[in-house]
Amino acid sequence: MYATAGKLPRALIQTEKTLSTLTTTVTIAAEDDGFHAPSLADFFPPAIMFEGTLFEFTRVNLIQLIMTVAVASFFIVAFRNPKIVPRGVQNLGELAVQFVQTQIIDMIMGVSGRRYLPYLATLFFFILAMNLAGLVPFLNLAGTSVVAIPLMFAIVAWLTFNIAGIRKHGFVPYLKTNLFPPGVPKPVYVLLTPIEFLSTFILRPVTLTIRLLANMMAGHLMLVLFFSGATYLLLDAEWFLKPFGLGAAAMGFFITAFEILIALLQAYIFTLLTALYIAGAESEHH
């Protein structure tokens, strides 16, 4: 019995050493194979310049700058010398702006909402460009996959629809209409008013931010997972695992096509909801 007890510590020590060796081996192998498991660290790359200051500039900021310049350059080229009969880039630019006008503004706000076309068209195409950056080679990360950009767009939308409502109705009538909807028994206001306040003035920018951010983060993580997995399985894994690499690559291409749709859909939904909030703020009956 004592002999057995003496062997147990030695066995445990040997097992611990074996596990430590295996962990080290797996870690080194993973590093050598170049497999990159997706994680939240992807969204916080190291600084390129000005590290540790308020002006810290990272790869994400570079991507955002590139896509901003790309969108601005496209519309400057498209409309710098407009013709009565559009051709080439001007024709493409007019089709792009017309899409926002007909499919969002006219549908939600009517003809009177066309005064918001410059803002809503800018919002739509900047969000779309930032979303598509995750699919551009050598960029591979959506500019909207970090919270700053979705939050900025949401705050601007919040300011826009509230200012529009205040300008149309006046500050006190606007608050009264939103917080105390007409036709409701007065005792109900005890519950309804806090709910309306949270819904209109707090939750709208929060939901706009989270919806866009979560979709872009999820898309990046899935793309990295499938393409990194496919690379590892096809190039470094054992022969019997290589067929799974083909399946992972096929899923990666499918997710890429799906992400194009998601990028367009999220830009459309964000802009559509912004137009809906502006129309509601200006409406005589909220």
3-state secondary structure of 58: strand
Tens of pLDDT, residue by residue over 9-39, are: 454 445 444 444 434 433 444 444 455 667 7
* Domains contained in the chain, number: 1
pTM attached to this predicted model? 0.82
Q: Residue 45: what pLDDT?
A: 85
Q: Does residue 4 surpass a pLDDT of 60?
A: no
Percent of the chain clearing pLDDT 90 (strictly above): 53
CB-neighbour burial class of residue 18 (10 A; exposed 0-12, middle 13-18, buried 19+): exposed
Q: Supply φ then ψ for residue 47, to 5 degrees.
A: -70, 145
**Residue 257 resides in a domain:** yes
Residue-wise pLDDT for 107-157, tens only, equals 999 998 999 999 999 999 999 999 999 999 888 899 999 999 999 999 999
The H-or-E segment that residue 209 falls in is helix 204-235
Does any domain span residue 96? yes
Q: Is residue 17 part of a domain?
A: no
Residue range 204-232, pLDDT digits in tens: 999 999 999 999 999 888 888 888 888 87
Task: Give the three-class secondary structure for 47.
Answer: strand
Cβ(91)–Cβ(83) below 8 Å: no
274 in a domain, yes or no? yes
More confident residue, 263 or 17: 263
In a domain, 200, yes or no: yes
Q: By residue range, what is the domain housing residue 178?
A: 72-282
Q: Categorize the per-residue pLDDT at 86 as very low, low, confident or very high, splitting at 50, 70 and 90.
A: confident
Q: What is the pLDDT of residue 236?
A: 79
For range 167-172, the mean pLDDT = 93
Q: Which of 36-50, 57-71, 215-229 has the lowest mean pLDDT?
A: 36-50
Is residue 124 assigned to a domain?
A: yes
Q: Which two tokens stand for residue 16?
A: 């611990």
| Closest to 144 measured CA to CA, from 259, 64, 66 | 64
Mean pLDDT of 249-258: 91
Tell me, yes or no, whether 91 lies in a domain: yes
The answer to whether position 49 is within a domain reads no
